[in-house]
Amino acid sequence: MTALLMTATIAPDPAAAAHTQFDPAQRLAEYQAALVHYLRVPDLKILFVDNSAYPLDALKELAARAGREVLFHSYKSPVPPAFGKGKGEMELIATALDQFRSRLGEDEPVWKVTGRLIVDNLDDLIATQPQGFSVYADCRDVPLIGEALGGNQWTDTKLIAFTPAGFRSLIHHDWPDEHFTVEKLLYQRLKPHLGRKDITPRFRVQPEFRGTSGGSGKNYRSFGNRSKSTIRRIARRVAPWLWL
């Protein structure tokens, strides 16, 4: 079975970098809406892990009403908020995989999603995932342009798939004790291994996101973001070698 790991920080520390939304009630409502959406996806093992030690009773009630088992865990992250979301997110994933080690096979596919976001076509992404992967990610590396468009040489972490074994061997590193852009550092960590058969660096299907970025506050359904998504969807079909 494929698992979905919803990562959450329901009550961010006020000192946390790269956050535009701090209201726990607003954030909880967004996590609730996302959980309701994913509860409708059949044959999906859902893990919900919060690193702000927030009570999860309201979310557990949603799962109970849907008649679905969801594995919940809430704890206080040991990562100082000044280090930013990158190190905190990697620590959260590692904690989740350790917490539910007995419920996850080492080679079981795990899709990690930023828990406030809804991926409308997650079922299509799962249905087309490659067999036997260790890491399945969406990388961007457009030649020649450097950082002219921003976000180049980048591994998108708001949605990424891996096996527990793949995470521990290829993603989980001794991340620096400082603020860093995890998407860029992760790409540099993965780049030497991109020729491996068990690493697929581009999704076969363009993810369709709903929600807002916690860092920039951008709406993923805005005209600009929908236009980018359309271009990337076309590029996957006609120029799969172009990592937009």
Q: What CATH code is carried by the domain that includes residue 85?
A: 3.90.550
| DSSP one-letter code for 128 | T
Instruction: Let me know if residue 14 belongs to a domain.
Output: yes
Q: Find the domain containing 59 and state its range.
A: 2-238
Instruction: Let me know if residue 68 belongs to a domain.
Output: yes
Query: Tens digit of pLDDT per residue, the chain (244 long)?
Result: 899 999 999 999 887 755 567 889 999 999 999 999 999 999 999 999 999 999 999 999 999 999 999 999 999 999 998 888 889 999 999 999 999 999 999 999 999 999 999 999 999 999 999 999 999 999 988 776 555 555 678 899 999 999 999 999 999 988 888 888 899 999 999 999 999 999 999 999 999 999 887 666 677 767 777 777 777 877 787 777 777 6
Instruction: Let me know if residue 244 belongs to a domain.
Output: no
The two structure tokens encoding residue 203: 């999704």
If one counts the domains in the chain, the total is 1
Instruction: Let me know if residue 243 belongs to a domain.
Output: no
Handedness of CA 228, 124, 104, 8 (dihedral sign): positive
Instruction: Let me know if residue 73 belongs to a domain.
Output: yes
Contact 47, 112 (CB under 8 A): no
DSSP, residue by residue, 152-221: -SEE--SEEEE-HHHIIIII-----SS---HHHHHHHHHGGGTTSTTEE-S-SS---EESB-TTT--BTT
Calculate Rg over the CA atoms of the chain: 17
Instruction: Let me know if residue 108 belongs to a domain.
Output: yes
Contact 88, 79 (CB under 8 A): yes
Q: Give the rounded distance of the alpha carbon of 118 from its chain centre.
A: 11
d(CA 106, CA 150): 35
Instruction: Let me know if residue 28 belongs to a domain.
Output: yes
